[in-house]
Structure 1
């Protein structure tokens, strides 16, 4: 069972998300919040697996503020942002703060479900454009040799391609392996490096903890 919380201040959208989540037996909805302040107060108590958060909220704090305050304390809690815009500096800032992906507000219900499951399983659902923008921030430093000692040659290849912004399918094509094999390598990488998502893995690769 994947436990989920929603942070969304628009009633119709919040109720729509609630309906989508409650219609799937893999999910359990623990709570809905209309502002970041209430979420910051209650998330440490509820400790959901996944938090689906709007960026711009009523109140003084944003969804990004929520990620910045909660993620360092509960690294296992995965945040996915819910936004109107695909290529937006706020999305980028949310990902840098610790969110692991985002969903557009016009996304079809089945795709929202797929994204939540992907996030829970260790993926980072986001567009190639945003992924490259996030991961390009790690291009400058030299790789950390200790990471290379932990990972197999193939795992290093997967992680280095990931650091350049390639999607799972592109990595699979380049290495002549299946997408499921790519995901299996990534799960192994996350376990060995003790990280939760690809941004943290690339961060560790380049020794920027």
Structure 2
């Protein structure tokens, strides 16, 4: 099955190289390659691609601004950012705007091809350096949340099992602790999280992103 693509890239050499690479690859068809995103909605409505390859830094309007416009036409269109930027701000703005993948230009063209295949399978491809940034960000937020509620490592273990639906007895068995100890941990957790039961605790865990 042929994957239909549209490219938005202001660098003529990069844009032409990408179009050639993809058109020469089996199973790809470039419907159009454009130097800016000023007419992005009209372009997408005309071509209705499966995947959009999108640069960030472009004249007059940046690629991040164009993402919601693409998704408005059809939410099923996959958007892969192909950019030189690896700073946190542009990365997270792109992902929050609805980008499905984020690939750095300094990586090999093969990674872009792999990213296209991955989004077609429903994945969310990230360059290794970008994936590390995302993971580190979540870990930082997780540590901050733990510190905010002063949770111990053991209490976090108990919470992880609580999320999986374990009862007080099963938590005790899994962690090889006494039933009363398990119950005591839960009481302490409820007190620290300012909740009254397990359901409220789980809701707060998800809201505060205490556990990945």
Give the TM-score normalised by the residue count of structure 1.
Answer: 0.61
Corresponding position of 2:83: 83
Corresponding position of 2:11: 10
Corresponding position of 1:175: none
Contact 1:81 1:91 in 2 (8 A): no
Contact 2:44 2:73 in 1 (8 A): no
Q: Secondary structure at the match of 1:72?
A: helix
Alpha-carbon spacing, 1:88–1:29, altered in 2? closer, same or farther (3 Å): same
Unaligned runs of 5+ residues in structure 1 are 141-155, 158-205
Q: How does 1:106-145 map to 2 (within 5 A)?
A: 106-126=106-126, 127-132=130-135
**Is the aligned partner of 1:56 residue 2:57?**
yes
Which structure's relative contact order is higher, taking Cα pairs within 8 Å and 6+ residues apart? 1
Give the TM-score normalised by the residue count of structure 2.
Answer: 0.60
> What is the rounded CA distance, in whole Å, between the counterparts of 1:100 and 1:50 in structure 2?
10
> What is the rounded CA distance, in whole Å, between the counterparts of 2:138 and 2:74 in structure 1?
23
Task: State the aligned residue count.
Answer: 143
* Cα offsets for 1:180-200 (capped at 9, x unmatched): xxxxxxxxxxxxxxxxxxxxx
Alpha-carbon spacing, 1:113–1:89, altered in 2? closer, same or farther (3 Å): same
Larger radius of gyration: 2
Q: How does 1:111-190 map to 2 (within 5 A)?
A: 111-126=111-126, 127-132=130-135
Q: CA RMSD for the aligned pairs?
A: 2.5
Alpha-carbon shift at residue 70 of structure 1 (Å): 2.1
Contact 1:54 1:82 in 2 (8 A): yes
> What is the rounded CA distance, in whole Å, between the counterparts of 1:134 and 1:69 in structure 2?
27
Unaligned runs of 5+ residues in structure 2 are 146-162, 165-205, 208-212
> What is the rounded CA distance, in whole Å, between the counterparts of 1:51 and 1:73 in structure 2?
12
> What is the rounded CA distance, in whole Å, between the counterparts of 2:27 and 2:107 in structure 1?
19
Corresponding position of 2:173: none
Alpha-carbon spacing, 1:133–1:7, altered in 2? closer, same or farther (3 Å): farther
Alpha-carbon shift at residue 88 of structure 1 (Å): 3.2
> What is the rounded CA distance, in whole Å, between the counterparts of 1:130 and 1:50 in structure 2?
24
Contact 1:92 1:130 in 2 (8 A): no
> What is the rounded CA distance, in whole Å, between the counterparts of 1:40 and 1:133 in structure 2?
34
Alpha-carbon spacing, 1:47–1:131, altered in 2? closer, same or farther (3 Å): farther
